[in-house]
Amino acid sequence: MKNGIYHVNFRSGSQTFGEGLVVIKDNTVNGGDVGYLYSGIIEHSSNGVSSELLVRKWNPQVTSVFGPINEFTLNLEGSFDANASTFSVNGTAQEIAGATITISGRWLSEAA
């Protein structure tokens, strides 16, 4: 994937929506939204992209798309469109049985 700052939209299996920003740089991912921070790695393969993200609450007033949980790990897999500088991944939260998420991202800018 192209290094840079991405706007992300996410939707859980319960159809709850949210959005945030992530910075992808040299196979790392860091970002957040109004309630949670995300950090992890991203791997590229001939089949697309995969990532494991640790998601941690920073704002006690906000509930995640999966409900009232302070920390969880997302396992994600999907694809990147180099021409459009967009990606789409689907995944699960390890700590929450049956919890699924879809995340789409759009490249906004270079990162420092």
pLDDT tens, position by position, 26-85? 999 999 999 999 999 999 887 799 999 999 999 999 988 888 889 999 999 999 998 889
H-helix or E-strand spanning residue 32: strand 28-32
For the cut 70, the answer to whether the pLDDT of residue 14 exceeds it is no
- Cβ burial of 60 (10 Å; 0-12, 13-18, 19+) is exposed
Distance of alpha carbon 74 from alpha carbon 54, whole angstroms: 7
- Yes or no: say if 3 and 29 are a contact pair by the CB < 8 Å rule: no
Alpha-carbon separation of residue 107 from 15, 29, 63, 96, 100 (angstroms): 24, 13, 26, 29, 23
Say which residue the tokens 């390890």 belong to: 94
The pTM of the whole model exceeds 0.75: yes
